[in-house]
């Protein structure tokens, strides 16, 4: 780590000048931030010299690992050659074209067009607008409503925060937009009825979705959006038969399926994309995060040939597609993505995600699967979560005011590993870089085991009894 940082000065300057995202404003202003200075592989080090294994991969996005010079080299070359030029008015650049070719080749056969942006939020924003644009061109402008799911996460812009199904992203912002509705959370462990099988649970949720569509009016519903595995809402894996049942309903009512692959895409589930793991046939796909492993802000939103054909034909009367961003198809970002894909492919990191991810889940199950305060350990490959419970037998949750997940994560962090608390789901989440080794997986499990038991061993009687969630 460089020794030239004056950590105290930087913290004071930060508190004086920066409004942090997704942070308690008063806490950062008084305590200052933690300043990350360097990273290598699966580890990051802050300006105070504290080194930790990043078990969350930044924000679910650091797929290839930190400190890869190949990405910087590719970005420098692209910057030296051009640096930037817009893609409005039919302009393009070689990096955008080459990346689009490479990405489309990994899509289902019916999806062959991509729109570039800068974040997962703007990808979902763009697809929401395209739903409206597409239905308007079809003579069905009233098909504007988008159905999302409770506890889903799809971004933080006005539109994508509305799609997000977490109350904290709506409170005091006047959201969600009236066009957005939220259907049932597909968490079988917490929401399944006694004696109800996973398939029965999925069928019930599909019926609830159809009931909502009929109540709203099928002629007013344009799309349904879902993550293959729900990320920030709790790392919720789909129950058996869920997506087939849902897709049958959508097809019946002429409703598009937007698959949000921002977290699941580019190898995190041990395959290129989550829709391949869960047999989803989407009409639109949102990606970001792992497309560059966070080295550059870039998103890629994909649309089906049927949608593209309607947009193409509509241009004869409407002219230009009136949507876009200054940085759409940025040549430096596209070059970073190309180098990122090279590493994923050449080093078989997706295969490693499947293999080491399975080992990590198995090890976690052996270490904590039978604990009285662990309800389930869920996830797939390099993403997962430990469900905390006051009483696993009665499925009684902890009172969220005690912040048990956050306390566990803090204790684990002191042992050298970063996990992430998910307060809404009262869970401890992980999504390490895809380059994680078995030895590093062991380190993750060991720290979790020790930190978890430390917190659980010090719970007060009031905290132990739980009050439900």
Q: What is the mean pLDDT of the chain?
A: 96
pLDDT above 70 (res 1): no
| pLDDT tens digits, 378-400 | 999 999 999 999 999 999 999 99
Residue 357 CA to residue 111 CA, distance in Å, equals 29
How many CB atoms neighbour CB 142 within 10 A? 13
- Between 3.20.20.70, 3.40.50.970, 3.90.1150.10, 3.40.50.150, what CATH number should domain 34-67+349-465 receive? 3.90.1150.10
For residue 430, the Cα-to-chain-centroid distance in whole angstroms is: 12
What does the pLDDT look like over 145-180, one tens digit per residue? 999 999 999 999 999 999 999 999 999 999 999 999
pLDDT score at 21: 85
b/e burial code for range 10-47 (CB count within 10 A of at least 16 → b): ebeebeeeeeeeeeeeeebbeebbeeebebebbbbbbb
pLDDT band at 467; cut points 50, 70, 90: low
Gap between the Cα atoms of 46 and 30, Å rounded: 19
Mean pLDDT on 115-129: 98
pLDDT attached to residue 27: 84
Element (H, E) at 73: helix 69-81
258/233 Cα distance (integer angstroms)? 18
What tens digit of pLDDT does each residue of 212-242 get?
999 999 999 999 999 999 999 999 999 999 9
Q: Does residue 408 surpass a pLDDT of 60?
A: yes
Please give the CATH architecture assigned to the domain spanning 70-346: 3-Layer(aba) Sandwich (3.40)
What is the pLDDT, as a whole number, of residue 464?
Answer: 86
State yes or no: pLDDT of 469 exceeds 60: no
Cis ω before 176 (30° cut-off from 0): yes
On the question of pLDDT at 47 being above 50, the answer is yes
pLDDT for the residue 431 = 98
Cα→Cα distances 447→39, 42, 232, Å: 20, 15, 22
pTM, full prediction: 0.96
| Percent with pLDDT over 70 in the chain | 99
Domains 34-67+349-465 and 70-346 share a fold: no
Q: Do residues 180 and 145 make contact, with C-beta atoms less than 8 angstroms apart? A: yes
User: Tokens for 17?
Assistant: 């000048």
Residue 232: what pLDDT?
96
Give 4-35 pLDDT, tens digit per residue: 789 999 999 998 888 888 888 888 888 889 99
In the structure encoding, which two tokens stand for residue 133, read together? Answer: 């644009």
SS (H, E, C) 424-440: HHCEEEECCCCCCCHHH
CB atoms within 10 A of CB 341: 22
Pairing of strands 43-46, 51-54: antiparallel
SS3 (DSSP) at 86 = coil
Neighbours of 316 (CB within 10 A): 7
pLDDT digits over 48-102, tens only? 999 999 999 999 999 999 999 999 999 999 999 999 999 999 999 999 999 999 9
User: Where are the chain's structural domains?
Assistant: 34-67+349-465, 70-346
H helices of 119-268, in order, are 120-137, 158-163, 188-191, 198-216, 242-252
Find, among 422, 290, 430, the residue nearest to 360 by Cα. 430
Over residues 265-279, mean pLDDT: 97
Determine the pLDDT at residue 403.
94
């Amino acid at each position: 780590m460089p020794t030239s940082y004056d950590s105290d000065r930087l913290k004071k300057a930060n508190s004086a000048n920066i409004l942090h995202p997704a942070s308690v404003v008063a806490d950062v202003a008084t305590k200052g931030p933690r300043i990350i200075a360097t990273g290598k592989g699966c580890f990051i080090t802050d300006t105070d010299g504290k080194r930790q294994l990043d078990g969350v991969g930044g924000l679910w996005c650091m797929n290839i690992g930190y400190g890869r010079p190949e990405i910087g080299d590719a970005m420098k070359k692209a910057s030296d050659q051009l640096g930037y030029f817009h893609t409005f008015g039919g302009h393009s650049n070689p990096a955008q074209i080459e990346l689009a070719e490479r990405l489309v080749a990994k899509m289902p056969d019916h999806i062959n067009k991509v729109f570039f942006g800068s974040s997962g939020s703007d990808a979902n924003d763009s697809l929401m607008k395209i739903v409206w644009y597409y239905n308007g061109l079809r003579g069905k402008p009233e098909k504007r409503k988008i159905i999302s799911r409770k506890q889903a996460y799809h971004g933080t812009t006005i539109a994508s925060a509305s799609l997000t199904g977490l109350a904290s992203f709506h409170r005091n912002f006047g959201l969600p937009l009236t066009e957005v509705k939220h259907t049932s959370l597909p968490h079988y462990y917490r929401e399944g009825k006694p004696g109800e099988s996973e398939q029965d649970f999925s069928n019930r949720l599909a019926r609830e979705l159809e009931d909502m569509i009929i109540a709203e009016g099928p002629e007013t519903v344009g799309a349904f959006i879902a993550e293959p595995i729900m990320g920030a809402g709790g790392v919720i894996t789909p129950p058996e038969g869920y997506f087939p049942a849902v897709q049958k309903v959508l097809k019946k009512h002429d409703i598009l399926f937007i698959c949000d692959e921002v977290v699941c895409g580019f190898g995190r589930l041990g395959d290129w994309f989550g829709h391949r793991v869960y047999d989803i046939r989407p009409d639109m796909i949102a990606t970001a995060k792992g497309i560059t492993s966070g080295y550059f802000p870039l998103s890629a939103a994909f649309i089906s040939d049927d949608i593209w054909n309607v947009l193409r034909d509509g241009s004869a009367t409407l002219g230009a597609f009136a949507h876009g961003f200054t940085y759409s198809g940025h040549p430096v970002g596209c070059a970073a993505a190309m180098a990122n894909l090279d590493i994923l492919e050449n080093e078989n990191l997706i295969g490693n995600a499947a293999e080491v991810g399975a080992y990590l889940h198995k090890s976690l199950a052996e270490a904590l699967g039978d604990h009285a305060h662990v309800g389930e350990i869920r996830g797939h490959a390099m993403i997962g979560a430990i469900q905390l419970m006051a009483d696993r037998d009665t499925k009684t949750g902890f009172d969220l005011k005690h912040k048990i997940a956050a306390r566990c994560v803090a204790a684990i962090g002191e042992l050298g590993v970063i996990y992430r608390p998910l307060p809404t789901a009262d869970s401890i989440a992980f999504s390490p870089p895809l380059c994680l080794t078995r030895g590093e997986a062991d380190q993750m499990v060991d720290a979790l085991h020790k930190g978890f038991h430390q917190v659980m061993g010090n719970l007060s009687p009031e905290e132990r009894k739980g009050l439900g969630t």
